[in-house]
Amino acid sequence: MTNKDKPINKLDECVLCPQCLSRIYRNPEERKKSKIPTITSSQKCSICGNILLHEDKLFNLVNNKINLLNIEFNTFLVACQISNKTITQNENKIRKMTGYHGNNDLKHQIKRDLNEMITKKLGKTLDYKNPEVVIMVKIRKKPYKHNPYYELRNINIFIDSNPLFIEGKYRKLVRGIPQTKWPCTVCKGKGCEACNYTGKQYKDTVEDLIAKDLLKLTRGSSTKFHGSGREDIDVLMLGEGRPFVIEVKHPFKRNIDLKFLRRIVNSHSDGKIEINDLKFVNKDRRAAIKNSSVESYKIYSAIATFKNGVTSKDIEEIEKLDVIEQRTPVRVEHRRADLIRTRKINSISAERINSKQLRLIINCQGGLYIKELISGDNGRTQPNISKITNNEAICSQLDVLKVHIP
């Protein structure tokens, strides 16, 4: 009896199953003339070890795994990994000896056959570019435990679920919440007395407030948050909200009800945040919402508090502000490259609150730091409101009214 784990050296040492035989000899005439015999019922194919005679069972293994994981998907792709070297070596030798130079090997055949069966029997859609799940067939030398089929005991199925992307807009209605995870500055996230062993510097983040319910609904493992910029912790995000894409890693459930998600996130966050306009998107949106193009702009409402009284002439000067050269602010220098950025103010209007305070409505290109536009940041921002009014000013409150992306 020919064993599949027996390495072969000559053509007359091997026997092949009909499937492997017609893969090696695509031309039926050549197949007839070939010296390689077809296996009898007691023999094992020198390449596949008779796996290809049990493809219906292979499909059952896949189907069992899908049901066991209770994983939901529409699009898929089958991958195959063969770590049993005898299989690949035997196939390579036979290909060499028979002069077959195509790239259709056992791996290809298993992938192609399973792709077809899953499409037909389960009504799923094959997607080479962006599959929701990748169904991996692993073939190794050592048998797997708990495999229901003796003939396929060296095979196991693994299903990897690609991330799910949801786009929306968030409003942040209270101050003191960062957009994403902020590890405790004392312990760097390990957990210590200062952070009450949470590892977090802030109890809530915009991401967490959304992720808690989202992970429950999708049964995903974690999230990654991509915002169209971010506001400081002490800044509110008002108006329609800031666009974001939240990525769920390894989701088991994809067809979730986004209206329901929106409702429970909004009710569970106790008025801290609000999310709207949720929709499913593909991974390209991650980068798209981060890219600030010429058409993107932001509108801020800021309260500037001055050391001395503000004159009407000062207001006139402020409203003339146009192009700003801004060196990376001191307060973000540790995490941003130190460079000078040029940002345009599309419009700025100032309204008097009292003799030393103005409310400014600023429509500008994304990436302009408003706090520094007011203070001047020791001359790193030019021109700046403190300088043009010759009156030291700070930004004592800031809200974002609009984040517009095309």
Return the closest-CA partner of residue 403 out of 213, 235, 222, 202.
235
# residues contacting Zn ion (CB under 5 A) = 12
Nearer to Zn ion, 134 or 192 (CB): 192
Indicate whether 187 belongs to the interface with Zn ion (CB under 5 A).
yes
The stretch near Zn ion (CB under 5 A) out of 38-46, 71-79, 93-101, 149-157 is 38-46
Query: Given the complex with Zn ion, which of 183 and 366 has the nearer CB atom?
Result: 183
* Shortest separation between residue 4's beta carbon and Zn ion, angstroms: 9
**20 belongs to the binding site for Zn ion (CB under 5 A):** yes
Stretch that binds Zn ion, among 52-60, 81-89, 138-146, 375-383 (CB under 5 A): 52-60
Decide whether 202 or 252 has the Cβ nearer to Zn ion: 202
Q: Are 215 and 222 in contact (CB under 8 A)?
A: yes
By the rule CB under 5 A, 186 interacts with Zn ion: yes
Binding residue for Zn ion (CB under 5 A) from 17, 66, 211, 373? Answer: 17
Using CB under 5 A, which of 24, 71, 133, 195 touches Zn ion?
Answer: 195
Judged by beta carbon, residue 19 or residue 296, the one nearer Zn ion is 19
Smallest separation (angstroms) from Zn ion to the CB of 349: 43
* Binding test (CB under 5 A) with Zn ion, winner from 48, 265, 302, 304: 48
Q: Is 52 in the site for Zn ion (CB under 5 A)?
A: yes
Closest contact distance (angstroms) between CB of 224 and Zn ion is 23
Query: Interacting stretch for Zn ion, rule CB under 5 A, among 13-21, 135-143, 282-290, 358-366?
Result: 13-21
In the chain, the largest separation of any two C-alpha atoms, in whole Å, equals 102
The dihedral through the CA atoms of 224, 226, 229, 230 has a sign that is: negative
**184 contributes a contact to Zn ion by CB under 5 A:** yes
155 forms part of the interface with Zn ion (CB under 5 A): no
Q: Which is nearer to Zn ion, 20 or 159 (CB)?
A: 20
Stretch that binds Zn ion, among 65-73, 192-200, 254-262, 279-287 (CB under 5 A): 192-200
3-state secondary structure the chain: CCCCCCCCCCHHHCCECHHHHHHHCCCHHHHHHCCCCECCCCCCCCCCCCHHHHHHHHHHHHHHHHHHHCCCCCEEEEEEEECCHHHHHHHHHHHHHHCCCCCCCHHHHHHHHHHHHHHHHHCCEECCCCCCEEEEEEECCCCCCCCCCHHHCCEEEEEEECCEEEEEEEEECCCCCCCCCCECCCCCCCCCCCCCCCCECCCCCHHHHHHHHHHHHHCCCEEEEEECCCCCCCCEEEEEEEEEEEEEECCCCCCCCHHHHHHHHHHHCCCCEEEEEEEEECCHHHHHHHCCCCCCEEEEEEEEEECCCCCHHHHHHHHCCCEEEEECCHHHCCCCCCCEEEEEEEEEEEEEEECCEEEEEEEECCCCCHHHHHHCCCCCEECCHHHHHCCCEEEEEEEEEEEECC
Q: Which range touches Zn ion (CB under 5 A), out of 92-100, 121-129, 181-189, 324-332?
A: 181-189
Contact between 45 and Zn ion by CB under 5 A: the answer reads yes
Chosen residue from 97, 192, 264, 388 binding Zn ion by CB under 5 A: 192
What is the nearest approach in angstroms of Zn ion to the Cβ of residue 121? 22
* Complex with Zn ion: residue 8 or 48, whichever CB lies closer: 48
For 321, other C-beta atoms within 10 Å of its C-beta total 20
Tell me the closest approach of the beta carbon of residue 330 to Zn ion, in angstroms.
25
Residue with smaller CB distance to Zn ion, 114 or 405: 114
Instruction: Specify the residue, 2 or 301, whose C-beta has the smaller distance to Zn ion.
Output: 2
Amino acid at 112: R
Q: Which residue is associated with the tokens 């389960």? A: 122
- The single residue listed with the structure tokens 């949470």 is 198
Residues labelled catalytic:
232
Instruction: List residues near Zn ion by CB under 5 A.
Output: 17, 20, 45, 47-48, 52, 184, 186-187, 192, 194-195
